[in-house]
Amino acid sequence: MIQEDIEKILGELEALKCKTQKEVEEARVRFLGKKGEVTALFDEFRTFDKENKARFGKVLNELKQKAQARVEALREELLSDPSQAEGPRSDLSLPGDPFELGSRHPVSIVRQQIVDIFRKFGYDVAEGPEIEDDYHVFEALNFPANHPARDMQDTFFVSAGHLNPLLLRTHTSSVQVRTMEKMDVPIRVICPGRVFRNEAISARAHCIFNQVEGLYIDENVSFADLKQAILLFAREMFGADTQIRMRPSYFPFTEPSAEVDVSCNICHGKGCNICKGTGWLEILGCGMVDPNVLEASGIDSKKYSGFAFGMGLERIAMLKWRVNDLRHYFENDMRFLHEFAPAPEV
């Protein structure tokens, strides 16, 4: 009886034809599935006596192998014949699907522009940790303990109550300190990075923002060198006709210190709502490095002098693209970000 079943299945396998992959799968289930015809013969085989098991064991294994080979051959035959494949045929001559390109964040664009400008002037890029200690953020920059100038920067402390507590850096000047500690003079670096201050978020302020600070230390560096460097930067950034003006200011780590304004590149000095009718836009603070700061980092202030400057990237981006609300930089509004997408290639 089992011999007749085996011959019957072999004949069916020989005559088996399939037009689709679905039919191939149905054939596999019919012969080799849990309730398939070949599987049923193996279930019956388990009830045989020792003599019949020896007689039919090899035959059944060969039958199973032939069934598996026949199903696989039908599957490969359909895969190699596009006319028999399921689903729509692909036209390889059609152009590919267009992928929408993203764009860089406006702050990232400005940061790279500033870095590229100062690299042309011979400045290297230095970076440092965002979580800093009190010494590198304040004390080494001429902010002694209880100095009133510390109130100018409302600080996020990570660990308080220690002699040298950890905090989120309030400026990238801490990178300048670490650079002065490690590098030999002459030093010419810019320090881009993210900084944090505990300020109320509004259209003109945020608790997170980005800075680029610069430092140049060598023999015989003067305030005239500082003014020339700022003027060259402003003209590279805002246009060849840009003018600057410097107003006296105060920073604990520079003396003398100044705030720098550039001529408004929107109204060209005539007065508009961007420059509040003055014709000038404030862009950065700067000054000559205080001798105490040089000495704290092991640099001989009698032999060397230098200047430092710092600017907020969001502020520069606001002026460059007339952005009227600082919060746009942090809200991930795709409509805003798409305005900075690169122009399509022609």
**Domain total of the chain:** 2
Parent domain of 13:
2-84
Q: Does residue 51 share a domain with residue 195?
A: no
Q: Does residue 124 share a domain with residue 33?
A: no
Q: Does residue 159 share a domain with residue 261?
A: yes
Q: Does residue 113 share a domain with residue 74?
A: no
Answer yes or no: is 96 within a domain: no
pLDDT, the chain, mean: 85
pLDDT class of 346 with cuts at 50, 70, 90: very low
Answer yes or no: is 101 within a domain: no
* Pairing, β 280-289 against β 305-312: antiparallel
CATH code, 259: 3.30.930.10
Answer yes or no: is 325 within a domain: yes
Residue 334: exposure state from Cβ atoms within 10 A (0-12, 13-18, ≥19): exposed
Q: Does residue 30 share a domain with residue 149?
A: no
Answer yes or no: is 294 within a domain: yes
Q: Which residues pair with 215 in a beta bridge?
A: 189, 308
Q: Does residue 205 share a domain with residue 70?
A: no
Q: Do 296 and 302 contact (CB within 8 A), yes or no? A: no
Answer yes or no: is 27 within a domain: yes
pLDDT class of 31 with cuts at 50, 70, 90: confident
The pLDDT tens digits of the residues spanning 204-235 come to: 778 888 999 999 999 999 999 999 999 999 99
CA distance 263 to 272: 12
**pTM for this prediction:** 0.66
CA distance 40 to 9: 12
For residue 287, what pLDDT is reported?
96
Q: Look up residue 208 and give its amino acid.
A: I
Answer yes or no: is 94 within a domain: no
Q: Does residue 131 share a domain with residue 10?
A: no
Q: Does residue 113 share a domain with residue 208?
A: yes
Torsion of CA 328, 330, 336, 341, to 10 degrees: 130
